[in-house]
């Protein structure tokens, strides 16, 4: 009898321990996913911040460039750089036949002509001389140099030929291949060529959308929260507004995309693919988030503040505007920033209103077509070229960086400026 009891007790203690272990392993799993996730993104993405350059000697032959003696600045602008560019690449292997010359040309980006031109424009004295110029390597060689591209595949399965590899290895051996910080990733717009593609256009698109979103959502949400928390009578209609807000907070984001498409584009004829429409759509989506945060922080202001103001003769509006609202601002602001961070990461509604268009210019206003950072991630992730994989991860790193900064900022505002009442 006693032994039985002990066994039972032991069993119960074991069950206790098992249960505890399940809980611990659940937390461990969640954190493991997070770690794998971040590790994966960083390990594929960090290399995109480096860019491979080939250092190629270029002879600035005035004849080949169709330049006269003492050319003016305009002449230099209009000169023909294609031939010298081609020739300098072909000169990498003096014995190359025509096919091989073509392959040599494809070792650098199609931008190489312009890079040579810029070199000369910066230093017009180079005419007739030979000078080494940094040329952007093609994205395949870039990947080879970073070790992301399997070299042991059979030749017909890779995009780099044996010949290109041979020349490239020679260049590497001579120290003519250099890796530098990839500035163009931050200054270029999107491009079909992975080695030239950058996030500038989508970054500006994101900034414009977020600004439009902030300008619409913040005032409307704060005013609505003030009304609902401080002035609204308790009746059916107020309840209805409240149900609406809570529901909107949980409506799938793609439905807001359909709203943008069906109302903003089809009825109001706002320009497609622009951050303006994107921002309005996102603002409708963030509205409930900000309203809920603002109401919570208005509610957190103790009634004694209101009573004190009312007692010395302030009207309800004065009490609210001069005392309650300023005191609730830290909470409201941090809720707004969190709402904006959500909007910044949103993709689906922007796809529906056409912000997935290929944009190779940097937008200058919210009325210009643009992509946004998350949409750029989607566009690049759908692209088959290997060079884009690291770009996607790098773009994700930039996006996550922004989200982290915004969330930290929200935390700081909350902790630094929020008054503790108890």
Partner 1 sequence: MNLILFTFIVLLGFTSYYFGRKKAYTIQSTKKRLTALPQFYGYYLAIWCAIPAFIIFSLWAIFEPTIVKLLILSDYSNQGYLDDELNLLYEKSKALSRGQFTGEITPFIEASAEKYLSLRSIAQSSKVVIVLSAIIASVAYAYKRISSNSRTREPVEKFLNAVLFTASLAAILTTVGIVFSLIFQTIDFFKVIPLFDFVFGTHWYPAKAFVRDSSEALDPTMYSDTFGAVPIFAGTFFIAFIAMCVAIPIGLMSGIYLAEYASTKVRQYAKPLIEILAGIPTVVYGFFAALTVGPFLKELGTSMGLEVSAESALAAGGVMGIMIIPFISSLSDDVITSVPQSLRDGSYAMGATKSETIKRVIFPAALPGIVGSILLGVSRAIGETMIVVMASGLAANLTLNPLESTSTITAQIVVILIGDQAFGDPKTQAAFALGMSLFLVTLCLNIVALRVVKKYREKYE
Window 304 to 333, contacts with partner 1 (CB under 8 A): 315-317, 321
Minimum distance from residue 393 beta carbon to partner 1 (Å): 8
Say whether residue 199 binds partner 1 (CB under 8 A): no
216-235 binders of partner 1 (CB under 8 A):
219-221, 223-224, 226-228, 231-232
**Stretch of 56-64, 80-88, 187-195, 369-377 contacting partner 1, by CB under 8 A:** 369-377
130/411 with CB nearer partner 1: 411
Say whether residue 271 binds partner 1 (CB under 8 A): no
The residue whose two tokens read 């619409």 is 216
Say whether residue 377 binds partner 1 (CB under 8 A): yes
Minimum distance from residue 233 beta carbon to partner 1 (Å): 11
84/350 with CB nearer partner 1: 350
Say whether residue 20 binds partner 1 (CB under 8 A): yes
User: Which of 7, 10, 16, 322 touches partner 1 by CB under 8 A?
Assistant: 16
Whole-angstrom Cα distance, residue 30 to residue 276? 37
Minimum distance from residue 217 beta carbon to partner 1 (Å): 9
**Stretch of 61-69, 80-88, 100-108, 348-356 contacting partner 1, by CB under 8 A:** 348-356
Q: Is 141 exposed, middle or buried (0-12, 13-18, 19+ CB in 10 A)?
A: buried
Whole-angstrom Cα distance, residue 205 to residue 211? 10
Say whether residue 8 binds partner 1 (CB under 8 A): no
Say whether residue 405 binds partner 1 (CB under 8 A): no
Helices (H), 260-347: 275-299, 303-311, 316-319, 325-344
Say whether residue 26 binds partner 1 (CB under 8 A): yes
Say whether residue 31 binds partner 1 (CB under 8 A): yes
Minimum distance from residue 214 beta carbon to partner 1 (Å): 15
User: Do the Cβ atoms of 195 and 137 come closer than 8 Å?
Assistant: yes
Say whether residue 183 binds partner 1 (CB under 8 A): no
By C-alpha distance, which of 47, 311, 316 is closest to 182? 47
**Stretch of 103-111, 154-162, 197-205, 337-345 contacting partner 1, by CB under 8 A:** 337-345
Whole-angstrom Cα distance, residue 161 to residue 32? 40
Minimum distance from residue 372 beta carbon to partner 1 (Å): 10
User: Do the Cβ atoms of 348 and 257 come closer than 8 Å?
Assistant: yes
What CA–CA distances, in Å, run from 358 to 120, 219, 254, 352, 362? 31, 33, 21, 14, 11
Say whether residue 259 binds partner 1 (CB under 8 A): yes
User: Which of 133, 291, 329, 413 touches partner 1 by CB under 8 A?
Assistant: 291
Q: How far is CA 414 from the centre of its chain?
A: 26
3-class DSSP state of 176: coil
Show the beta-strand stretches assigned E in 137-267.
177-181
Q: Is 181 left (phi over 0), alpha (psi -120 to 50) or beta?
A: beta
């Amino acid at each position: 009898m006693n032994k039985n009891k002990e066994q039972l007790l032991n069993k119960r203690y074991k069950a206790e321990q098992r249960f505890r272990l399940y809980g611990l392993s659940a937390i461990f799993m969640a954190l493991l996913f997070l770690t794998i996730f971040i590790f994966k993104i960083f390990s594929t993405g960090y290399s995109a911040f480096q860019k491979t350059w080939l250092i190629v000697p270029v002879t600035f032959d005035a004849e080949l460039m169709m330049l006269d003696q003492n050319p003016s600045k305009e002449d230099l602008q209009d000169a023909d750089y294609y031939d010298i560019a081609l020739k300098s690449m072909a000169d990498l292997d003096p014995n190359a036949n025509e096919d091989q010359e073509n392959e040599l040309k494809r070792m650098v980006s199609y931008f190489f002509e312009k890079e040579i031109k810029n070199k000369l424009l910066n230093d017009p004295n180079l005419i007739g001389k030979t000078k080494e110029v940094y040329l952007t390597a093609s994205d395949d060689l870039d990947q080879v140099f970073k070790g992301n591209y399997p070299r042991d595949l059979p030749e017909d399965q890779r995009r780099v030929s044996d010949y290109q590899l041979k020349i490239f290895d020679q260049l590497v051996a001579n120290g003519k291949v250099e890796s530098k910080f990839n500035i163009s990733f931050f200054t270029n717009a999107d491009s079909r060529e992975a080695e030239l593609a950058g996030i500038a256009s989508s970054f500006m698109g994101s900034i414009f959308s977020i600004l439009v979103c902030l300008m619409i959502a913040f005032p409307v949400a704060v005013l609505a929260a003030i009304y609902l928390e401080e002035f609204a009578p308790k009746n059916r209609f107020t309840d209805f507004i409240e149900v609406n807000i809570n529901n909107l907070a949980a409506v799938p984001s793609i439905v807001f995309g359909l709203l943008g498409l069906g109302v903003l584009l089809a009825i109001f004829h706002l320009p497609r693919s622009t951050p303006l429409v994107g921002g309005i759509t996102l603002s409708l989506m963030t509205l409930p988030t900000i309203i809920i945060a603002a109401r919570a922080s208005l509610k957190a202001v103790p009634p004694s503040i209101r009573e004190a103001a009312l007692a010395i003769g302030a009207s309800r509006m004065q009490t609210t505007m001069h005392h309650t609202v300023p005191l609730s601002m830290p909470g409201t602001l941090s809720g707004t920033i969190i709402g904006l961070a959500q909007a910044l990461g949103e993709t689906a509604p922007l796809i529906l209103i056409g912000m997935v268009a290929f944009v190779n210019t940097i937008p200058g206003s919210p009325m210009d077509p643009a992509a946004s950072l998350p949409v750029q991630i989607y566009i690049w992730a759908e692209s088959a070229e290997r060079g884009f994989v690291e770009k996607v991860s790098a773009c994700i790193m930039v996006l996550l960086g922004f989200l982290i900064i915004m969330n930290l900022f929200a935390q700081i505002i909350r902790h630094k400026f929020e008054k503790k009442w108890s």
